[in-house]
Amino acid sequence: MTILEERVANRRTFAIIAHPDAGKTTLTEKLLLFGGAIQLAGAVKTRGEQRRARSDWMKVERERGISVASSVMTFDYRDKTFNLLDTPGHEDFSEDTYRTLTAVDSAVMVLDGAKGIESQTRKLFEVCRLRDMPITTFINKFDREALDPFDLLDDIEQTLALDVVPASWPIGMGRNFLGCYDLFNDRLVLVAKGKDNHMDEGVTCNGLDDPKLDELLPADAVQKLREDVEMARGLCPEFDLQAYLEGTMTPVYFGSAINNFGVETLLNGLTEAAPSPRAAPAAGRNISPLEDKVSGFIFKIQANMDPKHRDRIAFMRLVSGHFKRGAKLKHVRSEKTLNIHNPVLFLAQDRELAEEAWPGDIIGIPNHGNLRIGDALTEGEEIRFTGIPSFAPELLQKVRPVDPMRAKHLGRALVQLAEEGAARTFKTRMGSDWVVGVVGGLQFEVLADRIRTEYDIPVNFQATELYTARWVECDDAREMKKFTDANQASLAEDHDDAPVFLARNSWHLERAEKDWPKIRFLKTKEQSA
């Protein structure tokens, strides 16, 4: 095995998807603990709060108790290196979440045991399904009253149309939660009362008939465990690694993240089964992680936490090759060479200067705005990665500076924010108004706050009559010109100067689609590359 092959085989890049409050933050914290990345439970939140206190624009985030900014956490466990990409849970920021999911190879779906599949779990799952992504399920909060495990399995199977296989089985719940039986490794793992840092040490058993179980558990609990597992084995298929990797089957773990129970069993499962970095789709061919030449794509841009600096960090997923600090990479869109001399890796304690990185790793590249979402960096080849979507905004508002003299400055700020992926911005052909489009309403507040604090431009957002936006394309330039001439009042340009049709209502859009059959009205625009 070459070093590259070995490093690729040992990487696990994943995200956690969950409805808010299911326990994503708690689980993240415990996973990091196992990786030795942080010393104390609670550190993720504390650090988060300290960081937030520093930046004014994140006030919105503090007030609402949601996480606006995603980050990357790297930790080692056994012989594997895990990259955990955090995704904001609030549905208003789903666009950011969707993009982050383009940079991972698998996902852990966390459910609240008392609630099962919730609205946001379902939406996020649909995005994973589009990419046939392997999903591991963790059903949390079994230290509280929860739904019956059979009903939970049924809920996942029915709601998500996914084959389910219990990987562990809970023994009791709430006050009577005694532990789990690890079905993949035949181990009994009991809740250790009064122990803070729980390890799922467990006792290896010789199947469920092992008399050890009768010694370690009350008689009624053993009997129920044996009956339940027999029934579950009768109802569910056997674990099939291939089906899991193709995204059609999910192994299900039970536990209680807050008590650190079941987390190690889950982590062992990910270590063994979760996929190593996959090939990335690109125009013309797929790029294998084992290719020697370095390549990667930008999936997220984050404004610097310090509002006085215009610096940004572009998050690049390394797709192939062995990256070393100081590498000169071609920025395919601008055809310029970038010298990556100060990349950052995101270890949980702090940002660290990256000396090297391997496929599946995420590298932060500080820049002044030249890098955009969807951009490719390579060792020379003109690669265009595909499948990093830009979504049609569902909410559109006009934005004006409080001081009309600042209109030009506002225009520049909006273009920068659009390049960063924080919103879509359109300049109307008639009237030259700025229209901002977002996927979730809360984004308007965050934007107004950022434009005021980072660019020093107080602005007002105003409701519009607009319904939605569609990027327009046509293979026939003459037809395109006819269309644009006839629809000047409904046309705008996005920050890349791509033409956009702004529809007043659904009828207006349907009518235009009918009248102009040669024009394509696109809901998503793949990021320019």
Tell me whether residue 142 is annotated as binding.
yes
Quote the least distance from Cβ 166 to ligand G4P, whole Å: 18
- Which residue(s) pair with 385 in the sheet? 282
Select 143 or 375, whichever has its Cβ closest to ligand G4P. 143
Tell me whether residue 89 is annotated as binding.
yes
Question: Which residues have a Cβ under 8 Å from the Cβ of 30 and sit 6 or more positions away?
Answer: 41, 257, 260, 263
Please check whether residue 16 is in contact with residue 24, taking contact to mean a CB–CB distance below 8 angstroms: yes
Select 257 or 519, whichever has its Cβ closest to ligand G4P. 257
Tell me whether residue 425 is annotated as binding.
no
Select 169 or 455, whichever has its Cβ closest to ligand G4P. 169
Cα-based angle 87, 270, 248 (whole degrees, multiple of 5): 80
Select 169 or 358, whichever has its Cβ closest to ligand G4P. 169
Interface with ligand G4P (CB under 6 A): 18, 20-26, 89, 140-141, 143-144, 256-258
Quote the least distance from Cβ 54 to ligand G4P, whole Å: 21
Question: Which residues have a Cβ under 8 Å from the Cβ of 506 and sit 6 or more positions away?
Answer: 467
- DSSP class of residue 527 equals P
Strands 328-331, 376-378: pairing is antiparallel
Select 22 or 466, whichever has its Cβ closest to ligand G4P. 22
Exposure string over 370-394, b if 16+ CB within 10 A, otherwise e: ebbbbbbbbbeeebbbbebbbbbbe
Helices (H), 112-183: 119-130, 149-160
Q: What sign has the CA pseudo-torsion 83, 84, 88, 94?
A: positive
Quote the least distance from Cβ 112 to ligand G4P, whole Å: 8
Select 124 or 448, whichever has its Cβ closest to ligand G4P. 124
Please check whether residue 305 is in contact with residue 54, taking contact to mean a CB–CB distance below 8 angstroms: yes
Quote the least distance from Cβ 252 to ligand G4P, whole Å: 16
Quote the least distance from Cβ 134 to ligand G4P, whole Å: 21
Output the CA–CA distances (angstroms, integers) from residue 198 to 26, 256, 404, in the order listed: 14, 11, 60
Select 106 or 120, whichever has its Cβ closest to ligand G4P. 120
d(C-alpha 174, C-alpha 105), whole Å = 34
Tell me whether residue 90 is annotated as binding.
yes
- H or E element in which residue 399 lies: strand 395-401
d(C-alpha 494, C-alpha 478), whole Å = 21
Tell me whether residue 361 is annotated as binding.
no
Quote the least distance from Cβ 223 to ligand G4P, whole Å: 26
d(C-alpha 168, C-alpha 165), whole Å = 9
Please check whether residue 63 is in contact with residue 52, taking contact to mean a CB–CB distance below 8 angstroms: no
φ, ψ for residue 246, nearest 5 deg:
-85, -5
Select 121 or 378, whichever has its Cβ closest to ligand G4P. 121
Tell me whether residue 411 is annotated as binding.
no
Quote the least distance from Cβ 256 to ligand G4P, whole Å: 4
Tell me whether residue 286 is annotated as binding.
no
Closest by CA to 167, choosing from 152, 155, 184, 188, is: 184
Quote the least distance from Cβ 439 to ligand G4P, whole Å: 20
Select 141 or 317, whichever has its Cβ closest to ligand G4P. 141
Quote the least distance from Cβ 347 to ligand G4P, whole Å: 21
d(C-alpha 460, C-alpha 465), whole Å = 16
Residues annotated within a binding site for GTP? 86-90, 140-143
Residues annotated within a binding site? 86-90, 140-143
